[in-house]
Amino acid sequence: MAETANKPGDTPRGTLAIRTVAMPADANANGDIFGGWVLGQMDIAGGIAASERCRGRCATVAVDAMTFHLPVNVGDVLAAFAEVVKVGRSSMTIRVEAWATRRMSGEQVKVTEGTYTYVAIDENRRPRPVDPDTPERMET
Ligand SMILES: CC(C)(COP(=O)(O)OP(=O)(O)OC[C@H]1O[C@@H](n2cnc3c(N)ncnc32)[C@H](O)[C@@H]1OP(=O)(O)O)[C@@H](O)C(=O)NCCC(=O)NCCS
């Protein structure tokens, strides 16, 4: 049966940035995956999108509007999708969604979403400008 927190026909928004498996070591004593682990995976995904956008080093400066829709279970495949929604002088706002593919059913459900802000930084860790005309992604 479909999990109720997701709307029928919902699909991931953004570009697939990472996929990984939720392991027993990522769970608490009850066997539930830590929210912090999910946030960390999403930070990695958003960081990839931001780093591609600014063509280099960046740092996470803020995490906002996090919503945990559904739990992640051990054995689920977690996929994080990232989309650049705003570029400032040195900052980049990235919307990140985490989707879990359930190990037993194969169903894909949105588990968490939020907004991450990154700042492009130079070799001295100081903010540097982001080129407004650079394409969002590097060619692969
Ligand atoms: C990122 C960092 C270099 C920015 O330095 P800063 O002195 O705050 O720089 P500024 O005040 O010039 O702000 C730089 C940009 O960040 C934005 N910014 C700063 N704090 C922000 C916040 N809380 N939320 C959203 N944007 C923020 C500013 O609006 C500015 O954007 P713009 O250049 O597009 O206009 C500094 O805050 C830092 O090193 N933080 C720690 C980063 C880190 O270690 N992250 C990993 C955590 S484990």
Q: What are the residue ranges spanned by the domains of the chain? A: 15-120
- Give pLDDT tens digits for 59-114: 999 999 999 999 999 999 999 999 999 999 999 999 999 999 999 999 999 999 99
| pLDDT for the residue 135 | 72
**How far apart (Å, rounded) are the C-alpha atoms in residues 93 and 115?**
7
Protein residue whose Cα sits closest to atom 29 of ligand 1 = 91
Decide if pLDDT at 136 tops 80.
no
Q: How far is the CA of 49 from the centre of ligand 1 (A)?
A: 17
| pLDDT for the residue 134 | 79
Does domain 15-120 fall into CATH 3.20.20.70?
no
Q: Is the CB of 63 under 6 A from ligand 1?
A: no
**How far apart (Å, rounded) are the C-alpha atoms in residues 22 and 13?**
21
Q: How far is the CA of 3 from the centre of ligand 1 (A)?
A: 37
| pLDDT for the residue 53 | 97
Tokens of 31: 């066997």
Q: Which of 135 and 132 is assigned the larger pLDDT?
A: 132
**How far apart (Å, rounded) are the C-alpha atoms in residues 99 and 110?**
4
How far does the chain reach from its first CA to its final CA, in angstroms? 38
Name the strand (E) or helix (H) holding 92.
strand 91-101
Q: Is the CB of 62 under 6 A from ligand 1?
A: yes
Query: Rounded to a whole number, what is the largest CA-CA distance in the chain?
Result: 52
What is the chain's alpha carbon radius of gyration, rounded to the nearest angstrom?
16
Protein residue whose Cα sits closest to atom 23 of ligand 1 = 62
Q: Is the CB of 101 under 6 A from ligand 1?
A: no
Closest ligand 1 atom, CA of 88?
Answer: 34
Q: Are 65 and 59 in contact, with CB atoms under 8 Å apart?
A: no
- pLDDT-derived band at 4 (thresholds 50, 70, 90) equals low
Give 2's contacts (C-beta < 8 A, 6+ positions apart): 8, 107
Q: Which amino acid is at 22?
A: A
